[in-house]
Structure 1
Amino acid sequence: MEKKMGYVTYDQLKECIPDLPSGPLEKYRKQATFDWRRMKLVYDSLSTIQLKKHVWDFMRTHPLFQHQSASRTLDEERHIAVKRMYAIYNETFVPDLKLIDDPGLFQAQSEAMFMFDSALAVKVSLTFKMFANTIQGAGRDHHFNYLDDIEKARIGGCFALTEISHGSNARGMRTTATYIPEKRQFILHTPDFEAAKCWVGSLGKCATHAIIYAMLMSKGKNHGLHTFVVPIRDPETLLPYPGVTLGDLGEKIGLNGVDNGFVMFNNYHLPKEAALDKLGGVDDNGDYQTPFRDPSKRFGASLGILSGGRVHITSISTAYLQKAIVIAIRYSAVRKQFGPPNSEEMPVMEYQQQQIRLLPYLAATYALRVFCNWFCRTHIQLTINRFMGVDDNAAGRGIEMHALSSAVKPVCGWTARDGIQNCREACGGHGYLKAARIGDLRNDNDANCTYEGENSLLLQQASNWLLNVWSRRGTITKDDTPYGSLQFLDNADQLLFETCPWNTVEELIDPANLTHMYKWLTAYMLKMTHEKVSTLKSSGKDNFSAKNDSQSFNAVTLSVVYGENFIVNHFYKSANAFEDARCRNVLLKLVSLYGAFMLEKHMATLYIGGFFSKDQGLLLREGILRVCAALAPQAVSLADTLAPPDFCLNSVLGMADGEVYKHIQSSVMSYPGSMSRPEWWRDVVFWRSYIPSKL
């Protein structure tokens, strides 16, 4: 009989997700108490699973998407990324109307590309999607001819905000766009190299247009940072226009398929129509106009647009961790070392230290994937609503989206950073092979901790918003928190009088209790940070100095905890609502492990605040170890759920058949030049014979 899960039948799942090959991993797969295909539905739908399969089937058979063993040169990396970008962009995997009806399909298509090659996905996103979304969100009807050109790939764009000497401090940007009423033109100008736009993805070699952020100057007044759509290269020749100086920043430690560049403007004239001024700009006479009476509303609405990069970086970081954890789990189930006396060697997965190095990050991958898929869909829907003019609280959504993305982007980036490094080390020497692919994942993810806002600075933006809501915590409305991230403030004053009432391992790792502990922790950190800032101001410090001196151990921790609290709660709600009982039981164990593992990092604060006492911290740690042991038999099947196809994973340690040593043998023996004498062999002989004669 066909098994049904909501509107999805098991036969439909099997059609999209092929059986796994038998091999050394079979022992662990037989121990799983849940169905690994079914588990995908906690973060995917049938339509997103089908779309990813469609994308991967296209890649698998296309000659441009075949892997090579040896590393490419920088120019080759740039070249193959561009060719793949146009090959993908030329395909219609799903009709546009269906994409609008189901925002999750946008996320699924992006995830499918990231699982194969992150540089490809970044190139597509920057060159077409982010470029078009900015024009849709901030442009007017006369800008929409650009959208037709983007759709037909006649032009390609990039997003230029950061300057050489200014990144996160938008107010310090020095590129100017001065309006000349007599000519109805802006003059775009870069005063010196320190004001050059830099780290602009897709600008270095290929972009024909750029979204430029510049200070809008009119009638001697600076109206602040505004956006302009600026032609920078001739689409027919790719040569820069007169008045535009641009170039490539060169090789990076990762993501070298993305051509990050810099650009400078020398009194470059633009028509007035270049301004993306739906949210505010100058009229023909140079007088400033905006549809928002309250300047903060204009700022709030614009924040929703600016948040897009951070929102989607959460998913990018998760994709890197997702691939790394699959590789490390599968390898750990095959690799055998030592064992009890007079017995066979054991898989390293059975060792407690291996479990605690990997399984909390397996749980984190599920937590982040469930959250990020929701977060990206939510942001896409916000963008669609703004474009359609149907959102009556765009400012409120934009402000909370900005605060939440400023907190969870660092949480996801740092979790991926630490998790991938643990995966690399847990795979021992073989994990250091390039063919293992974990090193590439680590290097590529590194950028996520910096671009679209350096993580520590982003946390300040989240904490600033939180500090502003503390004083009105008793009057928070749905308009203030349309996404519910401030629910931890419900009855906050009463909550902060509580102490932890649980005194057994089982109670301390119970998912419901963990969410309550996080609620207390978040409220406590907000209260303590607010009091620290207030005390410093009372002692005579100005607002800037008071906030600056409240970052370490206060505001930074507050923002991290705020982001973790939302992710933990979202994961718990999603797990609890999952209809399949066997999957739900395993998911709740993952909630326990993720929540307890993240909470343990704040142990000192729990004791300092008086919430924990006596041996509750020890019991929490014991709970982490117990859940790890309970999840170890499920780990391979949990990894199978997360795994992309083998040709996307492309790791000798992580293939679905578990034949690690056969894949290593094939890789090292077929690597170009691995078994041949080097061309410079005579130098070896010469210097070997020369050195003794000098002694």
Structure 2
Amino acid sequence: MVTTPNSGTVVREEADSTLAMRLLRRLSLQPPPSDPPAPDAAKYTDVEALKGYLRERHRSVQERVGEFCLTRPEFLPTPMELPSSAHQELCIRQMSALVRDAGLRPLSLMVADPAQYFALMEAIGAFDFSLAIRLGAHYSLWGGSVINLGTKKHIEKYFDKIDNLEYPGCFAMTELHHGSNVQAIQTTATFDPVTDEFIIDTPNDGAIKWWIGLAYLQAKLATVFARLILPLEGEGEGGEPADMGIHAFIVPIRDLETHVVLPGIEIHDCGQKIGLNGVDTGALKFCSVRIPRDNLLNRFGDVARDGKYTSSLPTINRRFAATLGELVGGRAGLAFSSVGVLKTAVTIAVRYALLRQQFGPRRQPEISILDYQSHQHKLMPMLASAYAFHFARVHLVDKYSEMKKTSDEDLIADVHVLASGLKSYITSYISKSISICRESCGGHGYAAVNRFGVLRNDHDIFQTFEGDNTVLLQQVARHLLKQYEEKFKGGTLSVTWNYLRDSMSAYLSRPNIVTARLEGEDHLRDPNFQLNAFRYRTSRLLRSVAVRLLKHMKILGGFGAWNKCLNHLIALAESHIESVILVRFIEAVRSCPDEKTREVLKLVCDLYALDRIWKDIGTYRNVNYVTPNKAKAIRKLVDYLSYQVRLVAPELIDAFDIPDQLIRAPIGMQSEAYAQYTQCVGL
């Protein structure tokens, strides 16, 4: 027999392999080691106390809407295959019932208490997002544009009739060729000094107003954004008309009595959408449509009878910024309502995971799929995020309400960036999360009756509504860079960005080699460590992108440099928003008066923070902010905290206080899910 020098090694490797296979087979036949016994949930949290802490001061309006809708036949669950036309007609009836029968006055609510208004929209969205978006298009956009961009004469003329639905309207900003770049829209409003009118024109097909909610069926008036053009004797140079930039105008599009489309206006249906087909969306085209001069919403710029233009703001850019700044409420509302979508999706997925049993130790009962580590890894950080986003949205609405009361310029700028960032970050996260929830429910998640499809499709457009998420994140990054520049010029920083003032030098110095090695649970669950990690990452990204921009600008110019660093800028914005969210969560934990509730919120907060750190662990490792062993400790602790949160998941879900009538998905009910499931599909 001929052997090679390595033949003995080969034989030993084969023997080792055989032995390993035997050991694996033996282990597969043994029951896994039991987890620590699940403690009594009452030791962790009092559901009623947690529910009470989550309830914001606007809970009463949600209960009022819920009680009304649950007693009305037109608010029965919308059939899954309802045609768009029938769905739109149903939503119009529902909208009328809420205003005329329930006596809701959303526009008054929006002015008096924005938090109550946002809560109202969330409650309505729990029944049907198409209905909520329809109300939002009328009140937030059409009504909001009149009261925020108009002056006393507009409010006196339109407010009450918008509030009681006598003047249904729409918001015509987006054009076929321009959505995010509003300054480039092409619709014109040319002043005619002879007749004292503006002439609204669509100069080409690219300027057709597109995706205008309520335009195709319901709206009688529109806020039309257009370029204000003054005639030759105005302020233009070289004999050219003067383009004064983007302004908003009230344009009647249908007869107030007959509802007939007015002369010079074309209205077309934008067609079937992926979701929200209970909202009619139309395209508007204008051909020499004349409107009175008073129909200019003139808060930031006005035209006198003689054609002279006046404004308290000296430049087109400043007027444009002020105009869009007043419309930030739409972004705040989308962030607010999105959190409700996440709560619903997570509730359905977690309750199903508790109900569904699959596999288990040999000769023993099957176990809940939520007892599997992989399932906990999917759903428990998502549940933690729902809590984190809840407290972030409370902060956003508080800041927005304060801004509306004070009109403080610094606060306006902060709220604009905060709303842009939270809307972008939250809606993007939730769109991905709905798909994960669907997947985690297996085949039953694919059944339309269990709602993941409609939640995903109706919510998906939130990433585009009120500004594309990628564009909005760039606004956040741009503002951070501005604050960074202010710091190094010795200027003051606004409160929202104070960690740049207080801690930039510490964050950008060499990481502490002792802290980088600490692995204990007490250290990792210390809010100071978590916040420092979040802020270190943000500050490092901020400094590095500032350096990169300066380098590229010398060769590529401003636009080219920005584009070259775009992914870096978006990462910066997302990192900052995560820091803002964590700050709000930590403060909510500290402010909780009930000890048991505070303990469970601390557990959830720690999972949120450490899961985010682990998901970006490469960044921390690359700069030696954490050692390999510390990174491993973070991963293990995330797994352990996911298990701990799983133990109280039913209570955490119940604390969202979403009635079964609003959950509606059979697999998301608190009891008898399978029985209701079979009834829903007609067995």
Q: Tell me whether the two structures share a fold, i.e. TM-score over 0.5.
A: yes
87-96 vs 326-335, which moves further: 87-96
Partner in structure 2 of residue 534 of structure 1: 550
What secondary structure does 2:556 align onto?
coil
> Would the aligned equivalents of 2:227 and 2:243 in 1 still touch at CA under 8 Å?
yes
Of 473, 479, 485, the residue aligned with 1:471 is 485
Query: Paired residue for 2:326?
Result: 305
**Post-superposition shift, 1:485?**
3.9
Q: 1:643 to 1:635 in 2, by over 3 A?
A: same
1:295-694 mapped onto 2 (5 Å cutoff): 298-383=319-404, 385=405, 390-391=406-407, 393=408, 395-473=409-487, 480-482=493-495, 484-499=496-511, 501-502=515-516, 503-506=518-521, 507-538=523-554, 540-552=555-567, 554-657=568-671, 659-669=672-682
**Distance between the aligned counterparts of 2:65 and 2:135, measured in 1?**
14
- The gaps in structure 2 that reach 5 residues or longer are 1-37, 235-240
Q: Which runs of 4+ in 1 moved over 4 A?
A: 27-32, 93-102, 293-300, 474-478
1-structure distance, mates of 2:362, 2:511 = 46
In structure 2, what is the Cα distance between the partners aligned to 1:32 and 1:313?
Answer: 36
Q: Give a deviation string over 1:87-117, Cα, whole Å, max 9, x none.
A: 1122235899887665432222122111221
Aligned to 1:152, which of 164, 175, 195? 164
Alignment check: 8 A CA contact 1:499 1:610 kept: yes
SS at match of 1:72: coil
Kept in 1: contact 2:396–2:415 (CA 8 A): no
- Which among 187, 192, 210 is matched to residue 199 of structure 2? 187
Q: 1:72 aligns with which of 61, 69, 82?
A: 82
How far has the Cα of 1:403 moved from its partner? 1.9
Distance 1:114 1:235, change over 3 A: same
CA displacement 1:300-357 (0-9 Å, x = unmatched)? 5434312222111112221211110000111111100011122111011111111110
Q: Shift in Å at residue 630 of structure 1? A: 0.7
Q: Is the 8 A contact 1:333 1:348 kept in 2?
A: yes
Counterpart of 1:62, as a letter, is R
State the shift of 1:374 in Å.
2.8
- Written as runs of structure 1 = structure 2, the 5 A alignment for 1:47-62 is 47-62=57-72
* Alignment deviations for residues 254-280 of structure 1 (CA, whole Å, 9 cap, x no partner): 111111211111111111111111112
CA distance in 2, matches of 1:328, 1:440: 15
Q: Which residue of 1 aligns with 2:137?
A: 126
Structure 1 residue 452 displacement after superposition: 1.4
Contact preservation (8 Å) 2:610, 2:638: yes
The alignment partner of 1:440 has SS state of: helix
Between the aligned partners of 1:373 and 1:76, the Cα distance in structure 2 is 36
Paired position in structure 2 for 1:231: 252
Q: How far apart are 1:130 and its partner, in Å?
A: 2.9
How many angstroms does 1:85 deviate by?
A: 0.9
Question: Is residue 115 of structure 2 the alignment partner of residue 104 of structure 1?
Answer: yes
Partner SS state of residue 490, structure 1: helix
| TM alignment of 1:210-225, pairs within 5 A | 210-218=222-230, 219=234, 220-225=241-246
CA distance in 2, matches of 1:460, 1:498: 28
Aligned counterparts of 1:131 and 1:498: Cα–Cα separation in 2 = 52
CA offset digits 1:588-646 (Å, max 9, x no partner): 11111112222333222223344233333222222211110111111011111114211
The answer to whether the 8 Å contact 2:176/2:205 transfers is yes
Q: Is the 8 A contact 1:140 1:278 kept in 2?
A: yes
> Judging changes above 3 Å, is the alpha-carbon distance between structure 1 residues 522 and 194 closer, same or farther for their aligned structure 2 residues?
same
Relative distance call for 1:350 and 1:128 in structure 2 (3 A) is same
Q: Which has the larger radius of gyration?
A: 2
Decide whether aligned partners of structure 1 residues 99 and 301 sit closer, same or farther in structure 2, where only a CA change above 3 A counts. closer
Q: Among the aligned pairs, what percent are the same residue?
A: 28
CA distance in structure 2 between the partners assigned to 1:106 and 1:179 by the alignment: 37
Contact 2:225 2:246 in 1 (8 A): yes
1:314–1:409 contact (8 Å) kept in structure 2: yes
For the structure 1 residues 291 and 587, does the alpha-carbon distance in structure 2 shift closer, same or farther, using more than 3 Å as the test? Answer: same
Give unpaired runs (5+ residues) of structure 1.
Answer: 1-26, 671-695
Residues 666/138 of structure 1: CA separation in 2 closer, same or farther (3 Å cut)? same
Letter in 2 for 1:397: L
Deviation at 1:172, TM superposition (A): 1.4
The AA in structure 2 aligned to 1:655 is M
**Contact kept in structure 2, 1:511 and 1:588, CA below 8 Å:** no
Alpha-carbon distance, 1:120 to partner: 1.0
Amino acid of the structure 2 residue aligned with 1:289? T
1:81 aligns with 2:91: yes
- Offset of residue 471 of structure 1: 1.6
CA shift in 2, pair 1:481/1:344, >3 Å: same
Deviation at 1:40, TM superposition (A): 2.8
Rounded to whole Å, the distance in 2 between the matches of 1:70 and 1:555 is 41
Structure 1 residues 363, 586: closer, same or farther in 2, change over 3 A?
A: same
Are positions 1:287 and 2:308 aligned together? yes
Contact 1:430 1:436 in 2 (8 A): yes
Which residue pairs with 1:268 in the alignment? Answer: 289
Encode CA deviations 1:384-417: one digit per residue, 9 max, x unaligned.
x2xxxx43x2x32222222222222121011101
Give the match's secondary structure for 2:243.
strand
Contact 2:395–2:584 (8 Å) recurs in 1: no
Higher RCO (Cα < 8 Å, 6 or more apart): 1
Distance (Å, rounded) in 1 between the aligned partners of 2:545 and 2:103: 50
Residues 148-174 of structure 1: CA distance to partner in whole angstroms, max 9, x if unpaired?
Answer: 211231111111211111111122111
Pairwise CA distance, 1:511: 2.9
Matched, 1:135 2:146: yes
Q: Structure 2 vs 1, CA of residues 99 and 179 (structure 1 numbering), >3 Å: closer, same or farther?
A: closer
Paired AA for residue 425 in structure 1: E
Q: Among residues 241, 245, 270, which one is paired with 1:249 in the alignment?
A: 270
Q: Determine helix, strand or coil for the equivalent of 2:509.
A: coil
Query: Are the counterparts in 1 of residues 202 and 285 from structure 2 also a CA contact under 8 Å?
Result: yes
1:136 offset after TM fit, Å? 1.2
Matched to 2:149, the amino acid is A
The one-character-per-residue Cα deviations of 1:231-265 (angstroms, maximum 9, x if unpaired) are: 11123232211111112211111111111211111
C-alpha distance in structure 1 between counterparts of 2:608 and 2:584, whole Å: 12
Measured against aligned partners, the alpha-carbon deviations of 1:46-72 in whole angstroms (never above 9, x if no partner) come to x42232122111111111111254420
Higher alpha-carbon deviation: 502-511 or 615-624:
502-511
Asked whether the 8 Å contact 2:148–2:327 carries over to 1, the reply is no
Q: Tell me which amino acid in the other structure corresponds to 1:142.
A: K
Residues 208 and 346 of structure 1, relative CA distance in 2, 3 Å threshold: same
Q: Per the alignment, in what secondary structure is the counterpart of residue 246 of structure 1? A: strand
Question: Residues of 1 paired with 2:343 and 2:136: CA distance?
Answer: 20
- What is the rounded CA distance, in whole Å, between the counterparts of 1:583 and 1:488 in structure 2? 32
- 2:23 corresponds to: none
- Residue 33 (structure 1) shift: 2.0
Distance of aligned partners of 1:82 and 1:98 in 2 relative to their CA distance in 1, 3 Å threshold:
closer
On the 8 A contact 1:255/1:444 being kept in 2, the answer is yes
Q: Residues 454, 28 of structure 1: CA spacing in aligned structure 2 closer, same or farther, 3 A cutoff?
A: farther
| Conserved? CA contact 1:514–1:595, under 8 Å | yes
Contact 1:29 1:634 in 2 (8 A): no
Q: CA deviation at 1:476?
A: 7.6
1:157-213: per-residue Cα shift (whole Å, max 9, x none)?
111211111111122111111112222211111112211111111222111111111
Q: If the length of structure 2 is used for normalisation, what is the TM-score?
A: 0.88
Cα pair 2:54 2:656 within 8 Å, conserved = no
TM-score by length of 1: 0.87
Question: Do 1:474 and 1:490's aligned partners in 2 also have CA atoms closer than 8 Å?
Answer: no
- For the aligned residues, what is the CA RMSD? 2.2
